[in-house]
Chains A and B, each alone.
Chain A
């Protein structure tokens, strides 16, 4: 009995896998991120931005290498490392040579290790890992490898830029650091402590704490501590529901200073903060949406909004990723030999439509770019988020942030 079932099951399996393996001509990019479950909104939005970037920047302009198109294929990893590895295998079997992923450093870590092993064991089907959002510094330090490229600034770089801005603000005397209890939250906390100490020894860190990730129902007790501590500013690396819950709770309980966030905009958050977050929520990120940096960027955003009226471009690095990948493929003259493409990416300088120059640092594959501190507001906003009246407006910029920062990466090249 079970054998028959299994036979049927496996034939169904091969049918489905086989069915979508038809287009070998296109350059396939596997997007491995959550498309279902609690983090699906971020993932789906990211997939839309990738698809749009591929169409708008490459395919509609005639493609690459004599007409090859970039096809972005979504793979639902349900934010599970295990599922990510299965989907990676499926993607590789479908002829994918480029993998993009960003949500969760845990998944990124699993993928980068798996890809390293896969490339070692299967030199015929090597793949590149283009990480567009996982910011754990380790990925370009101790755990770096030749196949991994990061297009977002890592959390240390972001903190470096952020503390530059804070250091310039004499009003700030007391800072509260709070984050989720896992590697990224700890990295943010460590970086904030060491960098503030170096740049502004007079600033007192009045609170530094971690809360369980994804489990806190009510942030009130934490906000009480923050308010009572007399902090002038809050720094948090929280994302998702933890970010919104924390932010709302802090504001609701009477805090009026700036809350510096890594992920405090988009994905419904901007709409949910609405008026209450105005003048309080700050976002540290790459890429500038408001005011629009270039006419090219405006045209791009307009076209995106026409296609996805409810979508945001809250990750400008996505178009940078596609743009740099396209440039690298053109330069290497091949989309099949990923080593050549990787070599082309290393050290590449790229003019982003979102402003500034991007530089892929060869020694650790970390992209160096301008960092911006933006404020959540409804004034002077051209491109709003979440179909609300609110968006983020750039207040200050750190150019080529952490260009000369140290990296412990010992790159092993094939």
Chain B
């Protein structure tokens, strides 16, 4: 029973389904939510789904993490390190954007008392 879960195929399936769910939660959020904070959170959820998807698909059963310590003597038998590095970077960037967005939101809220993005339309034709 548990062996079933231990196969790469299954893990990938679970990850794909899970990340897709997450992605569509995020998608639903940006499609329906108009509160700036909620929109930003939705984006974050979407991004997380992508990260999960990407990292998960590169995991294979029996491989170790690409960290040089006692378990890893040679550069074989390890998970591809590139996606992990990429995702780490992307997470940082995502964080920066999120922080900037939130700070804009706060400033804007202070000035106008509004946080509904569909009503931010002083700039328009």
A, B assembled together? no
A interface list, Cβ under 8 A from B = none
